[in-house]
Chain A
Amino acid sequence: MKIKENFVLREIAGTNVVLPIGSANVDLNGMIKLNASGVLLWHALEKGAEKNDLIEVILAEYDIDKETAEADVSAFIEKLARIGCLEI
């Protein structure tokens, strides 16, 4: 899985926001905002990563169990897929 080329992560007013580039207008109210773990996963996906790689990223950074990490990663992947920014 990889982030599509026309989506970037940018910090706007202190918030990490996913922006579609190359479109004429953007409605930021519909744009997704990422928290710290989301930013980590995003950077991993920019280089290309599978679900297990992402779980490893979370486990390396946070003191949580594997099931929770897996659930968080699944939810995150689904959130990105919904806005169409993931190449599966």
Chain B
Amino acid sequence: MLLKVADLYTEVPNAGGMAPRCRDYLTEDKVSADIIIRAELYNYEKHPESSDEMVAYMGSAAQFYREIVKFSGLYLHSSAIEYEGRAYLFSGPSGRGKSTHTRLWQSLFGESARVFNDDKPALRLINGVWQAYGTPWCGKDGININMKAPLSGICFLKRGEENSIRRLSEIEAAAQIISQTMYRFKDVENLDLMISHVNKLVSDIPVYELHCLPNEDAARLSYETMKKGAMEAGV
């Protein structure tokens, strides 16, 4: 299947039930692929406990995200929401409440706040602007919208006794981002590309840490803080 993902022509094999996830990304354009994903590289033997669908999902995501560094891109393990024409990413390890938080934004702001990816949205630096994209790698039951929006902020979530948010320093932000993105590269050149993207990302985009309860006040706090930070940063 030839798709257009994150403005990159990507060949994704049908194997492992990827077709439904990829449907919204299919393209009729007659071009050669920027990125080619190979089903023969899916490592079924290494993950005997996982379903074929899971192996195909993880394998195709890994190949795509290893290649995207060559195109000024990376992913962030996060729930991505678009509101007022801007994208905000809520990140952290699994189970930290990323999707819960973006759903709270939806309950506060209504239909005009759209979650477009719940697992691995792509980020690419295009003409000096960080764009956040929906991708076929959207999580188990995740929402999947083939759209993009300019990135305004990133927030790492931690469970808390109360709602509090702070701006991270660039090195703190880089450490958190690296822990939630592709790190394992066969070539050190690609690792270096990823690091250069992260360095640029943390110097352009405000990054926060939010300790929170799963309530609407937390969503109000993250929105107001991140919106203000974005305006000050000009993103």
Question: Interface of chain A, helix or strand or loop or mixed?
Answer: loop
Q: In the complex the two chains form, is B179's CB within 8 Å of A12's CB?
A: no
Q: In the complex the two chains form, is B195's CB within 8 Å of A10's CB?
A: yes
Question: In chain A, what residue has the closest Cβ to B185?
Answer: A21
Q: In the complex the two chains form, is B179's CB within 8 Å of A21's CB?
A: no
Q: In the complex the two chains form, is B191's CB within 8 Å of A21's CB?
A: yes
Q: In the complex the two chains form, is B179's CB within 8 Å of A13's CB?
A: no
Size range of the chain B interface in the assembly: 20 to 34
Q: In the complex the two chains form, is A21's CB within 8 Å of B175's CB?
A: no
Q: How far is the CB of B74 from chain A (nearest CB, A)?
A: 14
Q: How far is the CA of A11 from the CA of B176 in the complex (A)?
A: 15
- Contact mask B169-191 → A, CB, 8 Å, 1/0? 11101111011000111001001
Q: In the complex the two chains form, is A13's CB within 8 Å of B199's CB?
A: yes
Q: Which residues of B contact A13 (CB under 8 A)?
A: 169-171, 173-174, 198-199, 202-203
Q: How far is the CA of A3 from the CA of B191 in the complex (A)?
A: 19
Question: Interface of chain B, helix or strand or loop or mixed?
Answer: helix
Q: In the complex the two chains form, is B171's CB within 8 Å of A23's CB?
A: no
Q: Which residues of B contact A26 (CB under 8 A)?
A: 178-179, 183
Interface members, chain A 17-76 (any B CB < 8 Å)? 19, 21-29, 31
Q: In the complex the two chains form, is A28's CB within 8 Å of B174's CB?
A: yes
Q: How far is the CB of A32 from chain B (nearest CB, A)?
A: 12
Check: B162 CB closer than 8 A to any chain A CB.
no
Q: In the complex the two chains form, is A25's CB within 8 Å of B183's CB?
A: yes
- Contacts A13-B171, A13-B199, A15-B171 given; does A27 touch B179 at CB 8 Å: yes
Q: In the complex the two chains form, is B184's CB within 8 Å of A22's CB?
A: yes
Check: B34 CB closer than 8 A to any chain A CB.
no
Q: Which residues of A contact B188 (CB under 8 A)?
A: 8, 21
A-B contact pairs, 8 of them (CB 8 A): A8-B191, A12-B198, A21-B188, A22-B184, A24-B183, A25-B183, A26-B183, A28-B176
Binding site for B on A (CB under 8 A): 8, 10-15, 19, 21-29, 31
A13-B173, A28-B175 given; name 16 further pairs at CB < 8 Å: A8-B191, A10-B192, A10-B195, A11-B195, A12-B178, A12-B195, A13-B202, A21-B191, A23-B183, A24-B183, A25-B184, A26-B178, A28-B174, A28-B179, A29-B175, A29-B179
Pick the 7 closest A-B CB pairs, nearest first. A28-B175, A13-B170, A13-B171, A13-B174, A12-B174, A15-B171, A24-B184
